[in-house]
Amino acid sequence: MSNPFLKQVFNKDKTFRPKRKFEPGTQRFELHKKAQASLNAGLDLKLAVQLPSDEELNDWVAVHVVDFFNRINLIYGTISDNCTEQSCPIMSGGPKYEYRWQDEQKYRKPTALSAPKYMNLLMDWIEVQINNEDIFPTNVGTPFPKNFLQVVKKILSRLFRVFVHVYIHHFDRITQMGSEAHVNTCYKHFYYFVKEFNLIDTKELEPLKEMTSRMCH
């Protein structure tokens, strides 16, 4: 592993969570390979996200959500030493955007939290859902819940906030580590995907609007 970025990532036990994997031989695994292959072929990302003609939308979306979760986790893991209660007492994306945490358990009202606390709750909250067979079924033929895309929209809008925080508050660290190109590619892939299937409200995308228009023509 000669890439210092990856070395750094794999040495981080703290925020590097076990990846959700697709079992070989399952339909999801094949789909995951298909999605990866189109990326590795250096295809235009805008084309790579399009639904293959012989695939179901929910299957395609499920595979990508898990993949984005794994990758965004890694990105946050690399800067987490610089994202502390002291440096980031509020989960935000610049002075205009503050993100408050709300869930069905402890935080029933939107609550201001530090960025690291918010990130931990967010990653746990997503992990529980993608490992729940009732929401993300792994077996072929098991139907997705009727509200699947609603669930996914919420997951993806919250994952987008990780990009917002990383780009606005920690981009110098990303550049220092030489992983700017990697993070930008991951962001572009994510952005084209949510736009293709209309999975995030335009107002949620506001904080990175200028950067996005430069990066994703």
For residue range 144-193, what is the model confidence (pLDDT) as tens digits? 999 999 999 999 999 999 999 999 999 999 999 888 888 998 999 999 99
CB 77 within 8 A of CB 15: yes
Task: In whole angstroms, give the CA distance from residue 136 to residue 35.
Answer: 17
pLDDT of residue 94: 84
Residue 13 in this model has a pLDDT that exceeds 60: no
Q: Is 93 exposed, middle or buried (0-12, 13-18, 19+ CB in 10 A)?
A: buried
Average pLDDT over residues 104-121: 92
Q: Rounded to an integer, what is the distance from CA 115 to the centroid of its chain?
A: 16
pLDDT of residue 3: 45
Which residues have a Cβ under 8 Å from the Cβ of 65 and sit 6 or more positions away?
130, 136, 152, 155, 156
Average pLDDT over residues 79-91: 93
Residue 11 in this model has a pLDDT that exceeds 90: no
Among residues of the chain, what percentage have pLDDT more than 90? 54
Residue 168's closest CA among 194, 213, 207, 121?
A: 207
pLDDT of residue 169: 93
Average pLDDT over residues 18-43: 60
What pTM value is reported for the model? 0.84
Q: Could you tell me the domains of the chain? A: 4-13+24-215 (1.20.140.30)
pLDDT digits (tens, 9 = 90+) for 47-60: 889 998 888 899 99
Annotated binding-site ranges: 83, 88, 165, 170
Residue 124's closest CA among 105, 138, 99?
A: 105
Residue 6 burial (CB count, 10 A): 14
Annotated binding-site ranges for Zn(2+): 83, 88, 165, 170
Q: Which string of b and e fits 202-215 if b means at least 16 CB within 10 Å? A: eebbebbeebbeee
